[in-house]
């Protein structure tokens, strides 16, 4: 097996070593790969399959089953917008429209400059303070179109500060 | 003695800006050169007052909230460290009606303690259930849990003791405890609050379950949408290992018990127990046929107890105080307490732990204070996205599994999502079908195809196309999905749809 693409994407062999003998290792390994490089490249599938003694179809089947796993690079800022009922009850539909039009992308898309990815999520467990969004691992509650703009501009300032 | 400020570390408090408040406290304390200790606690579940901070004044916790970053300087100016007056002062936490009128058997520590402090946990009654469990052994534990009347809190309400006894009765070398922490239902957050505010409670319940059925290995299947729960629970597991309360020979006994946390990947269906087991085995989360039950052939084909977080968190108090004590709460066949969750368009949203048997009206208006928008409440959806929509005319319904079943509704995990009069019920019905189409595992046809066809039929009804014919077709389709789906996903999706049509026909142009 040619492991060149893996080297290019820097999936460390130690990940495979760590998970190889774990019962039901595929999900933890996929999490580790996505955690390390941000997504699970198609090129990694044969190597993952080989290391866990699975078929490529099995690995592909699992990656495609779960919404969280992605096969293309995410934007630097990953925005998850809750579409579930408790958020809808507080007019998340308006927020959704605003987010899509201000970023000029739809769900499952990344802005052309590679900054923002937008994904739907079905409940963030912040249902008493809705609508909710999560940006990377930070949750925000009672988000209005206006406060969404403020959150993004705060993020931009932080990013600039960090150079 | 140093003064102490207690600041919650909780996902919902974080959503409301507690991290900025914390940073501001550190800044101000530094600037003023005062000796103050900051302790991160869990949340009291009074979400509408978050960020809610408390100060210990002579052993009484005085609450201030909701606190914004810009309030911190004025709070310190007002000498809150000694309980000083301030417009945000609420008074003793335990005197807030919202808390005072609850019956907290499970959540009595939440908000008061540092979730990761083992000594805090013990000082507030922790590990007493485990201690007794170690003394009385498997059979007596099973008796207590069966006698308590505890039923699964994940939604299906299956008697927990019976499930445990089934696993206990199997004679094999390896059994598993699996904690279902894939809390995907909209309007629910009680599992999350257990994990973030009182993680040892869950772990204590799991160890007791292990002793009861003879399992030595446990998995917690935690949804990826809860990063803070993963952090807190992960630390809690680590600390219990260091204390010798997990691993080999727990507390010097001959009991061995290991716990591993596994993270889900955003599939709602993995909250269904057999799908969850498939996922734990590293596969697509496709639902299994039943039988065999997971209690007979579960994870890796071994007998497995699969219990929801709140179910397991209810066990320590049952062991500590006895099944009879727990059974004293509740009504009919719904025994004990349920942490209800008030969500959506509600003025005072949060967690309300009460014995079964209060009415929807009481929880919506006495605790919830009506809608957040101030407009009349039109409907509530109870029990997550698969629960029926209930009209105001039925708000006198008592919160009890059987009473809810009688009106064609479902209590489920106790999540109550509130909608005011601006809601369009046709949109909600359509969304229910759409959600099922997005989240169906695809194994059975009624769910996989039915949900897509259902969405299309509702679209036709909404555009006025052959309304009567399409309503009949939707009714037919719903019956097929309800009766022929493999699991509750396809089987229950018709409930929100048909209840919306039944109670709010005007929204469907009929």
Q: Are residues B380 and B351 in the same domain?
A: yes
Q: Are residues B378 and B472 in the same domain?
A: no
Q: Are residues B139 and B85 in the same domain?
A: no
Which residue ranges of chain B lie beneath pLDDT 50? none
3-state secondary structure of B391: strand
Checking if the pLDDT of A83 tops 90, the result is yes
Q: Report residue B133 as tokens.
A: 């469990």
Minimal Cβ distance to B341: which of A68, A127, A134: A127
Which CATH number does the domain housing residue B393 bear?
3.10.20.600
Could you identify the residue written with the tokens 């590293």? B282
Checking if the pLDDT of A1 tops 50, the result is no
Mean pLDDT of A137-148: 97
8 Å CB contact of B344 and A124? no
Q: How far is CA B160 from CA A86, B308, B399, in A?
A: 29, 10, 20
Q: Residue A118: enclosing H or E segment and its boundaries?
A: strand A116-121
Q: Are residues B228 and B163 in the same domain?
A: yes
Would B367 be classed as within a structural domain? yes
Distance CA(B301)–CA(B459), nearest Å, equals 43
Q: Are B411 and B337 in contact (CB under 8 A)?
A: no
Mutate to test the interface with A, among B9, B14, B15 (most CBs of A within 10 A): B15
Kindly report the average pLDDT of chain B as a whole number: 97
Would B477 be classed as within a structural domain? yes
CA angle B374, B375, B380 (to 5 degrees): 105
Would B118 be classed as within a structural domain? no
Distance CA(B162)–CA(B150), nearest Å, equals 10
Q: Which residue has the higher pLDDT, A161 or A59?
A: A59
Which CATH number does the domain housing residue B323 bear?
3.40.50.11540
Closest-CA residue of B relative to A62 is B284
Minimal Cβ distance to B385: which of A25, A84, A128: A84
Q: Give, in words, the CATH class of A77-161.
A: alpha beta
3-state secondary structure of B112: coil
Question: Across chain B, how many H-helices and E-strands are there?
Answer: 20, 16
CA angle A92, A120, A79 (to 5 degrees): 90
Which CATH number does the domain housing residue B484 bear?
1.20.1440.230
Q: Are residues B155 and B287 in the same domain?
A: yes
Q: Are A124 and B225 in contact (CB under 8 A)?
A: yes
**What was the pLDDT predicted at A9?**
64
**What was the pLDDT predicted at A3?**
43
**What was the pLDDT predicted at B1?**
56
Q: Report residue B222 as tokens.
A: 């935690």
How close does chain A come to B219, measured CA to CA in Å?
Answer: 11
Distance CA(B489)–CA(B94), nearest Å, equals 40
Would B107 be classed as within a structural domain? no
Would B111 be classed as within a structural domain? no
The yes/no answer to whether this complex scores an ipTM above 0.90 is: yes
Q: Residue A140: enclosing H or E segment and its boundaries?
A: strand A138-140
Would B378 be classed as within a structural domain? yes
Q: How far is CA A17 from CA A11, A13, B471, in A?
A: 12, 6, 57
Instruction: Give B293's DSSP letter.
Output: P
Kindly report the average pLDDT of chain A as a whole number: 92
Q: Residue B15: enclosing H or E segment and its boundaries?
A: helix B11-15
Q: Are residues B309 and B341 in the same domain?
A: no
Distance CA(B184)–CA(B189), nearest Å, equals 9
A158 pLDDT band, cuts 50/70/90, is: confident
Number of structural domains found in chain B:
4
Which residues, listed in sequence order, are joined to residue B306 by a DSSP beta bridge? B178
Distance CA(B200)–CA(B130), nearest Å, equals 11
Distance CA(B150)–CA(B334), nearest Å, equals 8
CB atoms within 10 A of CB B363: 21
**What was the pLDDT predicted at B203?**
98
Distance CA(B441)–CA(B276), nearest Å, equals 11
Checking if the pLDDT of A6 tops 50, the result is no
Phi-psi region of B176 (alpha: psi -120 to 50; beta: other; left: phi over 0): beta
Minimal Cβ distance to B349: which of A65, A66, A128: A128
8 Å CB contact of A85 and B227? no
Domain that holds residue B401: 330-420
Distance CA(A138)–CA(A128), nearest Å, equals 17
8 Å CB contact of A139 and B14? yes
Q: Are B350 and B459 in contact (CB under 8 A)?
A: no
Q: Are residues B359 and B430 in the same domain?
A: no
3-state secondary structure of B220: strand
**What was the pLDDT predicted at A7?**
44
**Which runs of consecutive H residues, i.e. helices, occur in B33-86?**
72-77
Q: Are residues B227 and B370 in the same domain?
A: no
The answer, for A130 touching chain B at a CB cutoff of 8 Å, is yes
How close does chain A come to B310, measured CA to CA in Å?
Answer: 15
Q: Which residue has the higher pLDDT, A161 or B418?
A: B418
Would B76 be classed as within a structural domain? yes
Using alpha carbons, select from B180, B139, B200, B145 the residue that is nearest to residue B336. Answer: B145
Beta pairing, strands B217-222 & B176-181: parallel
8 Å CB contact of A134 and B188? no
Would B106 be classed as within a structural domain? no
Checking if the pLDDT of A84 tops 90, the result is yes
Q: Are residues B347 and B368 in the same domain?
A: yes
**What was the pLDDT predicted at A2?**
42
Q: Which residue has the higher pLDDT, B86 or A12?
A: B86
Query: How many beta-carbon pairs below 8 A join chains A and B?
Result: 155
Q: Are residues B400 and B435 in the same domain?
A: no
> Inter-axis angle of helices A56-65 and A26-37, to 10 degrees?
70
How close does chain A come to B143, measured CA to CA in Å?
Answer: 33
Q: Are residues B300 and B176 in the same domain?
A: yes
Q: Are residues B170 and B52 in the same domain?
A: no
Classify burial at B247, counting beta carbons within 10 Å of its beta carbon; exposed 0-12, middle 13-18, buried 19 or more: middle
How close does chain B come to A86, measured CA to CA in Å?
Answer: 4
**What was the pLDDT predicted at A163?**
53
Could you identify the residue written with the tokens 């085995």? B281
Spell out the domain ranges in chain A: 4-65, 77-161
8 Å CB contact of A127 and B343? yes
């Amino acid at each position: 097996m040619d492991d060149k693409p893996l080297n290019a994407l820097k999936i460390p062999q130690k990940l495979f070593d760590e998970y190889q003998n774990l019962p039901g290792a595929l999900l933890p390994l996929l999490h580790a790969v996505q955690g390390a490089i941000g997504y699970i490249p198609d090129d990694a599938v044969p190597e993952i399959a080989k290391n866990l003694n699975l078929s490529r179809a099995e690995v592909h089947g699992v990656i495609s089953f779960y919404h969280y796993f992605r096969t293309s690079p995410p934007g630097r800022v990953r925005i998850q917008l809750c579409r579930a009922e408790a958020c809808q009850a507080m007019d998340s539909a308006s927020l959704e429209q605003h987010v899509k039009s201000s970023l000029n992308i739809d769900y499952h898309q990344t802005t052309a400059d590679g900054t923002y990815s937008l994904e739907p999520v079905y409940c963030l467990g912040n249902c008493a303070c809705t609508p909710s969004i999560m940006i990377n691992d930070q949750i925000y509650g009672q988000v209005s179109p206006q406060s969404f703009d403020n959150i993004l501009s705060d993020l931009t300032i932080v990013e600039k500060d960090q150079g | 003695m140093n003064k102490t400020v207690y600041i919650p570390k909780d996902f919902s408090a974080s959503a409301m800006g507690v991290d900025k408040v914390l940073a501001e406290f550190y800044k101000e304390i530094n600037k003023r050169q005062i000796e103050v200790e900051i302790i991160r606690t869990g949340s009291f579940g009074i979400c509408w007052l978050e960020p809610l901070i408390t100060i210990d004044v002579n052993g009484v916790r005085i609450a201030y909230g909701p606190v914004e970053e810009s309030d911190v300087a004025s709070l310190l100016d007002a000498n809150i460290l000694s309980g000083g007056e301030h417009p945000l002062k609420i008074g003793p936490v335990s005197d807030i009606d919202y808390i005072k009128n609850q019956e907290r058997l499970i959540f009595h520590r939440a908000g008061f303690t540092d979730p990761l402090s083992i000594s805090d946990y013990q000082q507030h009654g922790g590990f007493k259930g485990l201690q007794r469990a170690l003394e009385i052994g498997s059979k007596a534990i099973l008796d207590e849990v069966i006698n308590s009347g505890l039923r699964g809190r994940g939604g299906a309400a299956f008697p927990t003791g019976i499930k445990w006894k089934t696993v206990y009765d199997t004679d094999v070398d390896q059994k598993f405890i699996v904690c279902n922490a894939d809390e995907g239902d909209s309007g629910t957050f009680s599992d999350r609050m257990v994990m973030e505010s009182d993680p040892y409670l869950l772990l204590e319940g799991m160890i007791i379950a292990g002793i009861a059925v003879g399992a030595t290995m446990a998995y917690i299947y935690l949804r990826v949408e809860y990063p803070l729960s993963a952090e807190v629970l992960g630390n809690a597991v680590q600390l219990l290992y260091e204390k010798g309360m997990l691993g080999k020979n727990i507390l010097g006994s001959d009991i061995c018990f290991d716990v591993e946390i596994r993270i889900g990947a955003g599939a709602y269906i993995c909250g269904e127990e057999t799908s969850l087991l498939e996922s734990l085995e590293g596969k697509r989360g496709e639902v299994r046929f039943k039988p065999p039950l997971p209690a007979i052939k579960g994870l890796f084909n071994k007998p497995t107890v699969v219990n929801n977080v709140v179910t397991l968190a209810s066990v320590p108090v049952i062991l500590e105080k006895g099944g009879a004590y727990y059974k004293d709460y509740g009504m009919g066949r719904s025994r004990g307490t349920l942490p209800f969750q008030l969500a959506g368009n509600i003025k005072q949203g949060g967690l309300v732990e009460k014995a079964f048997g209060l009415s929807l009206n009481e929880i919506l208006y006495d605790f919830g204070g009506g809608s957040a928008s101030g407009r009349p409440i039109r409907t509530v959806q109870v029990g997550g996205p698969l629960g029926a929509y209930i009209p105001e005319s039925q708000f006198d319904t008592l919160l009890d599994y059987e009473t809810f079943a009688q009106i064609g509704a479902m209590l489920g995990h106790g999540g109550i999502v509130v909608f005011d009069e601006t809601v369009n019920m046709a949109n909600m019905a359509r969304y229910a079908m759409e959600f099922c189409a997005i989240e169906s595992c695809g194994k059975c046809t009624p769910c996989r195809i039915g949900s897509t066809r259902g969405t299309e039929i509702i679209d036709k009804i909404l555009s006025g196309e052959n309304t009567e014919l399409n309503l009949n077709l939707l009714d037919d389709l719903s019956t097929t999905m309800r009766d022929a789906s493999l699991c509750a996903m396809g089987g229950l999706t018709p409930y929100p749809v048909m209840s919306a049509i039944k109670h709010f026909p005007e929204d469907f142009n009929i």
